[in-house]
């Protein structure tokens, strides 16, 4: 290979920890700047290959497989189709908001306490979001911070952000190997029986009049189904009306916790998409907001330092509900249930 070609192309070997990962997910971990659409273009033109073969974005990678990565994927030019749009400087109000969210920060990692009602990423009709705010604060962080995982718009709590590409790649692999321990708190209708259990139900995305919704896979849908496992535990209850539950997802599927709790007959209070929106027949004077909070995250540090262990305080609407029901979140300040 001559020098000119070697400058344009590199080959990256798939590690043992990445075995089974989809190619598009692998690219999100290693090259977060690349859009899905541009990756598809590179695949169609044969510029991205696996073991010298053309593949599709959903191809599963094996240990030792060699991924051909062109320069266009490693460093898309400003304004090129594969480069995410440049975000202008973040407003002073949004800068102050980001600063107020910070629970933990070092040279590699940022942990935020995401508020209710703010999107993590942009989408159709969504212009203001955390990813965009962070992108406009390169002067503050020294690089473009990169999201490592996601929370729904109305879910609050711990949100992990990498402060540079190397940390993003390492943290992505950590999540892929399920080495991150996540704890969520939620208020659900009724009281689950038994009070501790495991929910295992494969999930699929289905379109409906109110947008996409996650549901249990049906016979014949195995190809599209995503395996999902959640451990739950009842922490406290208010008679037989509602329960405060601790949720520990093993997998990280979209809407997994909300869908799983609905499947066992205990939807989350304030969750209109998954049958928890009508709170009045269950309990009065509760704000009609989703009661789901990413309470705690424990994860190996990407630079090999001591583990990151961060907890986020309950948001205002959940604190108000906890006070109304006589629940005391301080009981779990040390072990989080």
Active site residues: 152
Q: Look at the chain and count its residues.
A: 337
Please, which residues have CB within 8 angstroms of residue 215's CB and are 6 or more apart in sequence? 203, 204, 206, 259
**24-27 contacts: CB < 8 A, separation 24 or more?**
24/57, 24/58, 25/176, 26/61, 26/67, 27/73
The rounded radius of gyration (Å) of the Cα atoms in the chain is: 21
SS percent in the chain: helix, strand, coil, step 5: 25, 30, 45
Q: Find the helix or strand (DSSP H, E) in which 279 lies.
A: none
End-to-end CA distance of the chain: 58
Q: Which of 125, 121, 134 is nearest to 91 (CA)?
A: 134
């Amino acid at each position: 290979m001559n020098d000119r070609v070697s400058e344009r192309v590199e080959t990256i070997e798939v590690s043992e920890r990445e075995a089974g990962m989809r190619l598009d997910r692998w690219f999100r971990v290693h090259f977060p700047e690349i859009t899905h659409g541009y990756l598809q273009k590179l695949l169609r033109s044969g510029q991205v290959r696996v073991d010298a073969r053309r593949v599709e974005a959903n191809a599963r990678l094996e240990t030792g497989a060699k991924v051909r990565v062109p320069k266009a994927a490693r460093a898309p030019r400003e304004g090129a189709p594969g480069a995410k749009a440049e975000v202008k400087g973040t407003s002073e109000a949004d800068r102050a908001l980001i600063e107020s969210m910070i629970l933990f920060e070092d040279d590699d990692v940022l942990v935020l306490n995401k508020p209710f009602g703010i999107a993590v990423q942009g989408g159709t009709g969504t212009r203001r979001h955390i990813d965009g705010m962070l992108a406009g604060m390169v002067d503050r962080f020294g690089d473009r911070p990169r999201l490592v995982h996601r929370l729904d718009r109305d879910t609050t709590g711990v949100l992990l952000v990498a402060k540079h590409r190397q940390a993003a790649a390492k943290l992505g692999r950590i999540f892929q190997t399920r080495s991150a321990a996540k704890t969520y708190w939620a208020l659900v209708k009724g009281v689950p029986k038994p009070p501790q259990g495991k929910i295992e139900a494969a999930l699929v995305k289905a379109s409906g009049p109110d947008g996409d919704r996650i549901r249990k896979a049906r016979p014949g849908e195995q190809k599209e189904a995503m395996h999902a496992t959640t451990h739950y535990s009842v922490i406290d209850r208010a008679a037989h009306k509602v329960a405060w539950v601790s949720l520990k997802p093993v997998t990280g599927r979209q809407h997994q916790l909300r869908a799983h709790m609905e499947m066992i007959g205990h939807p989350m209070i304030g969750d209109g998409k998954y049958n928890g929106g009508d709170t009045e027949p269950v309990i009065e004077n509760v704000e009609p907001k989703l009661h789901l909070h990413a309470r705690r995250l424990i994860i190996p540090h990407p630079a090999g330092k001591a583990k990151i262990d961060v907890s986020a305080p309950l948001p205002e609407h959940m604190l108000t509900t906890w006070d109304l029901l006589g629940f005391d979140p301080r009981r779990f300040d040390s072990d989080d249930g």
